[in-house]
Structure 1
Amino acid sequence: MNYTGLDSIHEILRFIPSGDNALRHRVAAALKNELGEAGHSLWNEWRDGRGDDEAKDVWRSIKPYRTGGITIKTLFYLAQQNGWRPSNTHKEIDLSSLRSQVRLEAEAERDRLQVERWQQQKARLIDLWEKTEPITSNNPAGVYLLNRGLNVPNNAMALRYTPDLVT
């Protein structure tokens, strides 16, 4: 049986039901054994959010290459038991290439989520910045610094305080 690219693994995982606890462990073992940590995102996606605490414990407990013969071929076998049939479009690739592809996809998703978080925070941060004022020797923040023996630089636009927070 040939194992193939990431698209094929996504395809076969759709044929494997994720309801059985023992089966979730076997799928995790197969993915971790063949793909290492790069397989974690595939497994999480396949599990469809079934218990994050379980996921951390199960994934951590699996030791690659000590999985009792569970390999990527196990996934193909399980998928075939549930109706999957290989197509002629599957082409064999080497696992290091597959691991790289999975890792790159995971990195792209992390980057996308980080940009999304920044976009969500952007308006709030701009609003907060607009409520601040430069610290001068005459305002409360400047007086505080001078009383502590610190110099208040002239024209330091980046050194700011929020008047609404001064009590």
Structure 2
Amino acid sequence: MDVVVGRIAKAHGIRGELAVDVRTDSPEQRFAVGSAVTTKLRDGSSRDLTIAAAREHSGRLLVRFEEVLTRDVAETLRGALLIADTSTLPPTEDPDEFYDHELEGLRAELADGTVVGKVLEIVHSPAGELLSIEHDGREVLVPFVKAIVPAVDVAGGRVVLDPPEGLLDA
């Protein structure tokens, strides 16, 4: 299975370095020198790239790829998603820790079993993680905290919600 680990924001400098918005909890593994990622461009095309270097800079990761040597080439990758294979991830040891791809697609239900929707994605915000849930044809953002999401059952294909009044209302 493939998972989005970042999005290329823009070119940085003149030597092909790229500013990347990270979308993984393990950037040190995903963006390690020698790691492979696949870009998914806006036009639907893709390209395999190898990490040559990565460093933090102003809340983003600056990444250099072996195959991108100039700013002109880097500019063509603006907005591309960076995709990695989930089979290379080590299993999590903490029972309350999950990879994004494990949660995406799970059924969202209340404690009484009432289905309220499906987890679309995990949104990583400065204030913490949010579950983006499709509910009644619209997207609802639910804080991914124990008080509101008391149970996650990956094997059972569900997350249990205990939302405060009004959270799921239109």
Q: What TM-score do you get using the length of structure 2 for normalisation?
A: 0.25
Q: Greater strand share, 1 or 2?
A: 2
Q: If you compute each CA radius of gyration, which structure gives the higher value, 1 or 2?
A: 1
Q: What TM-score do you get using the length of structure 1 for normalisation?
A: 0.26
Q: Greater helix share, 1 or 2?
A: 1
